[in-house]
Amino acid sequence: MKEFERKQLLERVNREGATVGADIPETITVQGEEINLRRFVFEIKRRDTIPSGERERVDRAKKNLRRERLQRLRRIENNEVSYEEGRALVESIIGIDRALNALDQLRPVDLEQEAKVQQAADQKRWMKFLKQALGNESDNKGIRR
């Protein structure tokens, strides 16, 4: 592959908005294992949040996808492939980026932590109400009103 072709491919991968309109690959081989990437992403994304039991699975998948992305990118950077192979790698890297974006947008659900935060907020509201009701509300200087 010629140097200018390699630079074009690398620019395409690093372009702002490269994933806009890109499809998540149906399947992808990561670390020698074929994964139904599109099905996995849509299965997880359908929930809108990551259940605590799935968090480890999603984190592991994201880590493996990032590693695979880097390996594919390095093959282009090191000029180890032909231009046609490089184009295919670029498309797969953009697909991986699209999948990672979708997975990164999910919010983890930590029900226990969420319950603690809610309980603390409830207690704070209750204490404020009691202070107001009993006339013990003070300003920042400790002076009663």
Q: Where are the domains of the chain?
A: 3-109, 110-145
Q: Provide the pLDDT for residue 138.
A: 53
Residues 27-82 pLDDT 10s? 888 878 888 888 988 888 777 666 667 778 888 889 999 999 999 999 999 999 99
Closest to 94 (Cα-Cα) out of 74, 62, 69: 69
pLDDT of 145 higher than 50: no
Q: Is the pLDDT of residue 107 over 70?
A: no
Is pTM beyond 0.85? Reply is no
Compute the residue count for the chain: 145
Cα four-point dihedral sign 46, 88, 94, 103: positive
pLDDT, greater one: 140 or 50: 50
